[in-house]
Structure 1
Amino acid sequence: MARTPLTLAALSTAAVPGLEVVATREHTTGEHGDYDAALLKTAEGRQLIIRVPRTQAAETEQAADLIALGALSGGIRSRLPFEVPTALGQAPFDGSRAVVYDFLPGKPLELERVHGEIAVAAGQAVAAIHSLPSGFVLEAGLPQQTAEDAQRAVMTVIDRAQQTGSLPAALRSRWYQAAADQSLWRFLPTVINGALSADSLLVDDTSVRAVIGWSALSIGDPARDLAWVMGAQPDAAEAVFSWYEMGRQVAPDPRLQHRALLHAELDLARWLMHGHELHDQAIIADAEAMLDTLVERVHQNGVDPLEQATSPVLDAAEVEQLLSDRPGHAEGLAPVEEDSASDENVDSQRSSSSDDE
């Protein structure tokens, strides 16, 4: 049952001692019911937000987000050209917990708005994240992934998607060939947000004001934070990547866009797996339909599997459009974690299925 704004306002005073709330209203952020949230106005005129998870996945995400925000010290935040949320307090509630944050300015970025100054700001914002020193991530005990780890993780996603029995053979082949291409995985791991999407970027007319959603903060493949860009118009995507590379001020990664495209396509596989994990036939059918659309694009374009000359298989914004407005797309899809059992099975599964995906 949804908690009312008044209930959440009362919870906020328990989470933040001395807090005086004078007004409240429901806050909807497109999180598809994963959280109950309310905007709060304090006696000093300050705006805050309180969020309470409604699902186990959201509770896990919230816990990881709090650890990440704690690792983002004042010194680290000062290196970023945008604001990052601050958790002000929390209180246990109904088997979960309510967390109060400062309310950050801006509206979630819409892909059709990725052009001009916004494209510049988006590229620079991602570059700033990837330019952070890695020490604070290591000190916080957050995950770190080598290029080889990233390659294995992608193989694991493909294998697990194959195990659902719903992955088209054309896509399995396309993705396996990309994952096995050693040149694709010659990159320098960086600090990454790990779950970045267009919705993570809060913007005004010309700039990125804030970045939210830090639950997957880690060291890993920078292309993961740029997968969402592949849903923008081609010229806009090129602008984001260009400004990103200028902001990094390091040697360009010649396969960055190819890995970003691979990650974007694998989000469809993650959505399929999410449906199977929940035993939700509606999600499964939806994911299967999206994968079929991707297969049609592969066949229509006759594109070689994610090679150097590859352009996005889908028309501009189609991957993002296919995934947008699907419950749990942003928050419900946790990164697939490697474990020893899954690693041991990867090679055997791949060899046993090499006659098919």
Structure 2
Amino acid sequence: MLRLRQESTYPVGMARSHLTLAALATSAVPGLDLVKAASFGTGANNDYDSAVLTDRAGAHFIVRAPRSVRAETEQAADLAALRALSAGVRTRLPFAVSTFVGDTRATVGKDAAGKTRYTRAMVYEFLYGAKVPLLDLDTTQAASIGRAIAAIHSLPTSFVSDASLPVLTAIEALRACITVLDRAANTGLVPGELLARWEGATEESKLWQFQPAVVNGGLTASSFLFSEGAVSGVLGWHELHVGDPARDLFWLLGTRGEHVAEAGFDAYNDLRGSADRQVRQRSMLYAELEIAKWLLHGTDTRNTEIVDDAVAMLNRLLDNVRNNVMNPIGPLVSPTMEVTEVEEMLNRSGRAI
């Protein structure tokens, strides 16, 4: 799914220093004895002010304070998901997940009425590992990602429903796609051949005969931390729900290297077996509909630059589809088309890859 940046409803203001964040962390975690603090992340362009902290025993922590309403909402959802991922659930995963340590109130400035507005600064145990950009992933790393995603999808769905997180059926996943398709068609800007391709996929019943699974819901290349070539941690759980497994996999189709995407899907299928024979085909549909979502974002915000960009991407996608007529989105078909434009679009929209 496309996560688009939205304007905050309060002034972001100046970025907090690492020393300010360290002070917030000591307020959030009583007894935390810090000896070092350093800025973490990309600074003013980030949705969060972040710092990495070291305590006297040598343990490391991350403290984050949101800089926008969107980030504030995301952080709250992430915390709810982390709490749902109990110790017992985490033992089933071959990688580490963030552990929440504490939080405290932090000011974000004043609203239009001059009233001081607050958010929450949160402290987590530090997860070790390095990120690898999407276009730099190799087959070994992609295979490890495939296995990590398979482990998530193999978790029992009961803990998600018990935490009152969303539980979506296959029919609801299909309806969501149809809604995007219909809205995009109403713009009059989507080529007819693409609309026919997408409509054909939504009408192919075999594609939608899958068992909903636990899905992260917001995975990109930047979600994964690597150590010695294998996934060591997974970040960002704010969209945790039960739904279509393809939602966690479609972004792999934007990889550049030969056979990289295939390595990820093959490793995934090796662990999941025949649980979902059509997961790659639905992934292709989701990847293509990301461009439709970008178009809708442009029309919704009346941003002609985004609309023009999306139209150009749709035309390039149409050319690719025409050059791959033997690979429609359908059952028992393994498309080989790489949708690298999706990665470019996601970067433009502010979603990190």
Asked if TM exceeds 0.5, the reply is: yes
SS in 1 for 2:161: helix
Task: State the distance in 2 between where 1:187 and 1:247 align.
Answer: 16
User: Could you tell me which residue of structure 2 aligns to residue 288 of structure 1?
Assistant: 311
User: Could you tell me which residue of structure 1 aligns to residue 184 of structure 2?
Assistant: 161
Task: State the distance in 1 between where 2:43 and 2:281 align.
Answer: 29
Note if contact 2:52-2:62 (Cα within 8 Å) is conserved in structure 1. yes
- The answer to whether structure 1 residue 229 and structure 2 residue 252 are counterparts is yes
SS in 2 for 1:3: coil
Q: 1:268 to 1:173 in 2, by over 3 A?
A: same
User: Could you tell me which residue of structure 2 aligns to residue 186 of structure 1?
Assistant: 209
> Out of 273, 297, 301, which is 2:296 matched to?
273
Note if contact 2:140-2:263 (Cα within 8 Å) is conserved in structure 1. no
Q: 1:285 to 1:38 in 2, by over 3 A?
A: farther
> Out of 113, 133, 149, which is 1:126 matched to?
149
Unaligned runs of 5+ in 2: 1-12, 109-117
SS in 2 for 1:133: coil
Note if contact 2:53-2:61 (Cα within 8 Å) is conserved in structure 1. yes
Which string of whole-angstrom CA distances, capped at 9 and with x for unpartnered residues, describes residues 166-208 of structure 1? 4343332222221121111011111111111111111123210
Note if contact 1:65-1:216 (Cα within 8 Å) is conserved in structure 2. yes
Higher mean displacement: 23-32 or 78-87? 23-32
SS in 1 for 2:193: helix
CA RMSD of aligned residues (A): 2.4
User: Could you tell me which residue of structure 2 aligns to residue 323 of structure 1?
Assistant: 345
Shift in Å, 1:156 = 1.4
- Percent identity of the aligned residues? 44
**Amino acid of the structure 1 residue aligned with 2:165:** L
TM-score, length of structure 1 as denominator length: 0.84
- The answer to whether structure 1 residue 26 and structure 2 residue 39 are counterparts is yes
Task: State the distance in 1 between where 2:268 and 2:177 align.
Answer: 24
Higher mean displacement: 65-74 or 101-110? 101-110
Note if contact 2:139-2:259 (Cα within 8 Å) is conserved in structure 1. no
Shift in Å, 1:263 = 1.1
Note if contact 1:31-1:327 (Cα within 8 Å) is conserved in structure 2. no
> Out of 238, 243, 250, which is 2:267 matched to?
243
Q: 1:273 to 1:297 in 2, by over 3 A?
A: same
**Amino acid of the structure 2 residue aligned with 1:26:** S
TM-score, length of structure 2 as denominator length: 0.85
After TM superposition, list the pairs within 5 Å mapping 1:136-175 onto structure 2. Answer: 136-175=159-198
Shift in Å, 1:113 = 4.3
- The answer to whether structure 1 residue 104 and structure 2 residue 117 are counterparts is no
Provide the aligned length of Structure 1 versus Structure 2.
328
Which string of whole-angstrom CA distances, capped at 9 and with x for unpartnered residues, describes residues 247-289 of structure 1? 22x4252211110111112222223333445554444443333
Task: State the distance in 1 between where 2:303 and 2:32 align.
Answer: 41
User: Could you tell me which residue of structure 2 aligns to residue 219 of structure 1?
Assistant: 242
Unaligned runs of 5+ in 1: 332-357
Higher mean displacement: 271-280 or 188-197? 271-280
Task: State the distance in 1 between where 2:105 and 2:160 align.
Answer: 27
Shift in Å, 1:152 = 0.6
- The answer to whether structure 1 residue 12 and structure 2 residue 25 are counterparts is yes
After TM superposition, list the pairs within 5 Å mapping 1:61-140 onto structure 2. Answer: 61-93=74-106, 94=108, 95-140=118-163
SS in 2 for 1:241: helix
User: Could you tell me which residue of structure 1 aligns to residue 63 of structure 2?
Assistant: 50
